[in-house]
Structure 1
Amino acid sequence: ELTGEYLADEQLLARNRAHGNTNAYESLVPFQLDDGRIMLVDRGWVEPGYEADRPDAVPAVPTGELTVVARLRPSEPLPRS
């Protein structure tokens, strides 16, 4: 469990993330803990938009202090190409 708040202005969308039978986006948002440390939280998949260069809509990042239940995952290996 992490307690703190999202740094919504720092949200990133990672493009070309395989999801089902399409390439989607992942919503990545820094989360600042009460002690000042910052963790990067993957808030999940965002469907590709009608235009392939961006999604049509991105869910709003919650504001204010909250508790997030998260799990740590190892880094992905770098692509070979």
Structure 2
Amino acid sequence: MEKRGLKGDEIEGWLLANGGEKAGEYSIEGPGWRVVFLEERTELLGPMHFPVVKIRIEAEEELFENFLRRFRMHFLRGGA
């Protein structure tokens, strides 16, 4: 999954606040789930810089939909 407009530490903070613990330099594990940070970069759009984070979410089948829904709702962004 690629998230634009978010920095890795924002995602990391939410994961840690929701039961996760660091499991190495690039991953966080919680009860029944794991998120691996694959890439973090900045993209330019004209004079503006936008952070981009690429992650992989792994979760037990019965937990996946709920975890993904909560994740997406928390990081939902609206345009103006």
Normalised to the residue count of structure 1, the TM-score between the two structures is: 0.29
The answer to which structure has the higher helix fraction is 2
Normalised to the residue count of structure 2, the TM-score between the two structures is: 0.29
User: Rg: which structure is higher?
Assistant: 1
